[in-house]
Amino acid sequence: MTAPISSYVPPEWAPQAAVWVGWPHIRSEWGEAFDGARREITAFVQALAQTTRVRIACGSQDALTSAENALSHLIATDRVELKAVPAGDIWLRDTGPVIGRNAGVEEAARFRFNGWGEKFVIPGDTETASAIAKLEGLPIRTHPFVLEGGAVEFDGAGRMLTTRQCVLNRNRNPEWTQELAEGALRAAFGVTQIIWLNDGLLNDHTDGHIDNIARFIGPGRVICQTPSGATDPNASQLTDIYETLTEAGLDVVTIPSPGLICDESGHPVPASHMNFLISNRRVFLPVYEADHSTNATRALALAMPEFDIIPLPARHILSGGGAFHCMTQQVPDSEDVDR
């Protein structure tokens, strides 16, 4: 199966020229997790910069100053660059552009962003995609519908994964039926097969983003999670996800979920090992609790033997609503985009 040549989004395992990373700068959005999130992101950037150029999107002067203090040794080596970018929060997967090709030209696709169904409307987030595209020197193609990058997943061979809970949610595009959505998504991304899952994780404020529940790790090969014990709050969803992917004819592999992880009030949070970032033959895996994290790391290494698995703590980042995939946006190598 080959995607039409008019539009193409490289899969995440394709070569990358750089990765954009968000940097927390609005303390009120993070509460007690603010400083911890900055420490975890620092460790993530240090690991990522070993093989990939990193561009930090700094949404304020405070962000520039704190990122410079935390990453000065990497900035001095030119592995990390700080960029002033309008950004309300760090979730560049959703607010940033999707970089690919259209009619043979490398471009940045920009979509309407409404704060995840108008739940979190923060100044700066609607300007992030255009700002990053301009800094990358890319033409911008603006689409008239609401979509977040974390809601769509590509295998580079014409397949796309998404969820009905998010993409068909009336708080995004209230007029959309599944048929209308498929027409818009096929036109935007050049995909030939759209595989729909139903619901995402419990208490996920994104309304079920795909990058928290299922990810492509090869053409037609997908990974999802199995429940971790009887207390796993997402047991029924994870079972449904696995069955739907299998019925779609995909090659499905699994790793254990993080299980039950709660916030300070005792409510389950949408912790997921699926929110990893693939970048230049390495996989940056968010981990939370020791036992489940060790099991997930081992299972992912078996599922992706050609990649180095880098487990890194993400508990404080999770307090803000996501992990490594949510807070990044890759810049594909132009040679791959132009293939």
**Catalytic residue IDs:** 326
**Residue partners of 243: CB distance under 8 A and separation at least 6:** none
Query: Which residue in 166, 129, 134, 160 sits closest to 147, CA to CA?
Result: 166
- Which burial class, exposed, middle or buried, applies to 64 when counting CB atoms under 10 A from its CB (0-12, 13-18, 19+)? middle
Collapse the DSSP code of 275 into the 3-class scheme (helix H, G, I; strand E, B; otherwise coil) and give the result.
coil
Residue with tokens 């739907």: 244
In angstroms, the CA 49 to CA 187 distance is: 34
**Residue partners of 55: CB distance under 8 A and separation at least 6:** 18, 19, 20, 21, 80, 81, 82, 83, 135, 331
Phi first, then psi: what are they for 334, rounded to 5°? -65, -30
Edge-first strand order for the sheet with 251-256 is 214-218, 221-226, 251-256
Query: Which residue in 314, 300, 307, 312 sits closest to 255, CA to CA?
Result: 300
Strands 140-146 and 105-112, sheet pairing: parallel
